[in-house]
Structure 1
Amino acid sequence: MDILIAGVSTRGLVESAVRSGLHHRIVAVDYFGDFDLGLLCTYRSIKNDLRLPYDAHHLIPASSGLAWGALAYVANLENHPSVVEVMADGKPILGNSPAVLVSVRDPARFFGFLVRAGIPAPKIAFCSKPPKLDSNIPWLRKPLRSGGGHEIAVHLPGDRLEPGFLLQEYLDGLPCGAVFAADGRDACLLGISEQLIGRTEFGTDGFRYCGSILGSTGAGQTEWGDLVGSIRQVIRAITREFHLVGVNGVDFILKGKTVYPLEINPRYTASMELVEWAYGLNIFKTHLEACQGRLPGFDLLAHPDMGCFGKAILFASRALIFHDPRWWFDQGARDLPLEGEQIAQGKPVCTVFSRGQSRSECYDRLTRAAAEIEWTCLHATTSVWQQA
């Protein structure tokens, strides 16, 4: 079967598909058109082929003329169910249907369900001065179509809440993510990671997502078992309520020992390639099988502590020109720009990876790898390849 993978950045799921050994022909459309995506499959890029800024609707003309028989999608198409429906044009959708996306991405319905189910959740509000708004509670302004921490900010008293935004109670805890496979009735937990948010070491700030560290989140064996048990209950309840299928993610705050779900990402997520790396569980194959009603026989607690696995997205601290993508690819970096591509300040450069016995060792290796790439782009007068 020929499968189209679409979204803002498709390299991760495409790489998993190619590695799966299932022999599907993969084609892709995304914004970036990364160097390493071109090593994997035929693709079209909004940025390089259409010469347009990113808009999910631009994926539709980008896919025109490509031959494929089924559609799989990644971020941020969960926020654009109508685009998913138009792109599919009656062909099979390998993942959650547009109707499911509309339902699970509706904050009022999602948080309403959490409250009814007795699952701890932050308070939310849809106007800047709602009745009984507690002035002692810190609030965040968050887009209704959220993703990657974009446009999230602290909401101050007197601030106006623009259309398309909601208020969400700010919880002081550890930002985390869990990934799972679902068959519409039940779910299998695949991994838990700490989310890296607004880290200046990777060229960003605020609430911007810039990476993940997969591991036991610093918990002891008993605490880890309790956390896994709590998240399993949450994902099973959410799966039954919203009929999720395939691989999905849930963002949550871990405050003490309590899990506070923030949102569901009903598609492939950034931390899933760490799960694949750590546990040898092919995510693309798991996704297809879950869509067909088969969950993996995987028990997260059966895997001993193998240390930490990390990835970080490097954002440019200043404008730079990228060189030698093939050399950096061979060093293990991914999502690489094309040779000579100009990257504006604040835009993503590439993704780096690391492994360590501890969280701090893993994180330090990520920061060193990111710093090396940016320093080379900013200071090298000749290419790394020529210098090597």
Structure 2
Amino acid sequence: MKNILVIGFSTRNIVCSGSRAGYNMYSIDAFCDYDLQQCAKGFAKLDIGESFDASRISLADVSDLIESFDVKFDAIIPGSGFEMIGLERLPFWILGNDPRIMAEVSDKHLFSIFLKKRGIAHPETVLLDEIGALEFPLMVKPACSGGGIFNMKVNNSHDLIVLYSRLKEAGLPPGKSKIIAQEFVDGIPASVSVLSTRDRAVAIVVNEQLIGTSWLTEMPFAYCGNITPFETPYASEMKQIAENLILELGLVGSNGVDFIITEKGPIVIEVNARFQGSLDSVEMATGLNLLESHLKAFEGIIDISAEIPGVKGNGNANKYAGRCILYSDRKMVMTEAVRDMLLERNVCDVPVAGQFIGPNEPVISVLNSGNDRDEVIRGMKDSVTFIRESLNLLNPE
């Protein structure tokens, strides 16, 4: 295998992982970040307008972009949001999960029914028009959306009125218009990274999730990155749950399971049946190449062992590593001079010069590693302070 194409809204982490493994990586991407361009042999930009809804993108348009490379691709990897646009109808080896499985896993309402039938701890979940069956406080979110930017906590009936008004004003795209309500679960967000074949699943490591982190975003439930590994007495239990879920669902390759760790133990939130945002921190902490491991899993091979020693027994981690995502607080347009200043730090997902960035949109990601969690956080905070000062040189759009 030589030439691999990744298709998604943001594919930098997958493309750069594949480049490090020695593959010729190509990308169809909505941003075409500076560092993606450095890793990719070729790239094409998706025209998504103001929408992050893949259902609005036709397979014919994607096919035209694929043909524009004039490259014989050995495989195509669907990124987040593109798992169910019909890529399996194209004459390529698609290194992604079965769209029929994805339809159930990606829909948080259907997935809640799946978990309930199996007695797996999960927040009570209903469709929005059945919200009266639950007690406040509640978490309201699109059934088929990631990133947490549309998630809202509802504490009382007045908040519910405000919520309906906001949903009406938001004009959510069709792919995010199905809304669910869940009982609000308080705890620590975490995830388990898993590699799997049809008949074997190995949980690599438990990750801490940074959600609504105040020094990165104003949005209370926005996904802001990961720290790997996460030390918890529930690590073994979470890894076992994740392995069993992935196997029962029939998922292959690199997949993840999100949890909330409560006072009573871990509760499953959702399954990410694709490469996860934790890819960078997992690779940095473990030394694995997840793109290479993903490819081998589709060939029926998992070449790591669950018994590999890790940090304090947390599985397969040799050091601590983190990636955090800084969100914008205003409209701005990236300049070449500021971009070059940002590149002085250990960053990724770097906007190209001329890139428009709206309020509450991701600006850039920061990477760091260290001997413990505190060292990783200190380094990332130091870089974020430098980046904020650099961004102040940008004129508002």
Which TM-score band applies after superposition, normalised by the shorter structure?
0.7 to 0.9
Tell whether 2:321 aligns with 1:320.
no
Equivalent position SS for 2:215: helix
Tell whether 2:195 aligns with 1:176.
no
Provide the alpha-carbon RMSD of the alignment: 2.5
**Corresponding residue for 2:374?**
360
2:202 aligns with one of 181, 188, 195: 188
Tell whether 2:304 aligns with 1:292.
no
How do residues 18-97 of structure 1 correspond to structure 2 at under 5 angstroms? Answer: 18-21=19-22, 24-41=23-40, 42-46=42-46, 53-56=51-54, 57=57, 60=62, 61-66=64-69, 67=71, 68-78=73-83, 81-85=84-88, 89-97=90-98
* Structure 2 CA distance for aligned equivalents of residues 51 and 149 of structure 1: 21
1:233 positional shift: 2.1
Equivalent position SS for 1:379: coil
**Corresponding residue for 1:385?**
none
* Structure 2 CA distance for aligned equivalents of residues 46 and 52 of structure 1: 12
**Corresponding residue for 2:100?**
99
Are 1:253 and 1:259, in contact at CA under 8 Å, matched by a contact in 2?
Answer: yes
Deviations 1:307-355 (A, max 9, x none): 5311111111223343443553353211111124342322211110122
Among all aligned residue pairs of Structure 1 and Structure 2, give the percentage whose two residues are the same amino acid.
27
Tell whether 2:126 aligns with 1:125.
yes
Deviations 1:275-317 (A, max 9, x none): 1111111100100011121123232661134553111111112
Between stretches 92-101 and 150-159, larger displacement belongs to 150-159
Unaligned stretches of 5+ in structure 1?
382-388
Are 2:341 and 2:390, in contact at CA under 8 Å, matched by a contact in 1?
Answer: no
Are 1:7 and 1:73, in contact at CA under 8 Å, matched by a contact in 2?
Answer: yes
Tell whether 2:150 aligns with 1:151.
yes
1:70 positional shift: 1.9
Between stretches 280-289 and 198-207, larger displacement belongs to 198-207
Q: 1:232 to 1:140 in 2, by over 3 A?
A: same
Between stretches 362-371 and 296-305, larger displacement belongs to 296-305
1:96 positional shift: 0.7
**Corresponding residue for 2:211?**
197
* Structure 2 CA distance for aligned equivalents of residues 192 and 65 of structure 1: 40
The alignment's TM-score, normalised by the length of structure 2, stands at 0.84
Tell whether 2:266 aligns with 1:259.
yes
Equivalent position SS for 1:9: coil
* Structure 2 CA distance for aligned equivalents of residues 313 and 16 of structure 1: 18
**Corresponding residue for 1:246?**
253
Are 1:185 and 1:239, in contact at CA under 8 Å, matched by a contact in 2?
Answer: no
* Structure 1 CA distance for aligned equivalents of residues 242 and 391 of structure 2: 42
How do residues 367-382 of structure 1 correspond to structure 2 at under 5 angstroms? Answer: 367-379=381-393
1:118 positional shift: 2.8
Q: 1:345 to 1:242 in 2, by over 3 A?
A: same
Tell whether 2:20 aligns with 1:13.
no
* Structure 1 CA distance for aligned equivalents of residues 333 and 344 of structure 2: 19
**Corresponding residue for 1:311?**
323
How do residues 325-344 of structure 1 correspond to structure 2 at under 5 angstroms? Answer: 325-326=339-340, 328-329=342-343, 331-344=345-358
Are 2:134 and 2:183, in contact at CA under 8 Å, matched by a contact in 1?
Answer: no
Deviations 1:4-60 (A, max 9, x none): 101111110111101113xx322101111101111111101126xx87754421672
Between stretches 356-365 and 158-167, larger displacement belongs to 158-167
Q: 1:37 to 1:152 in 2, by over 3 A?
A: same
Are 1:185 and 1:236, in contact at CA under 8 Å, matched by a contact in 2?
Answer: no
**Corresponding residue for 2:139?**
140
The alignment's TM-score, normalised by the length of structure 1, stands at 0.86
Are 2:96 and 2:253, in contact at CA under 8 Å, matched by a contact in 1?
Answer: yes
* Structure 2 CA distance for aligned equivalents of residues 5 and 215 of structure 1: 27
**Corresponding residue for 2:289?**
282
Unaligned stretches of 5+ in structure 2?
168-176, 313-317
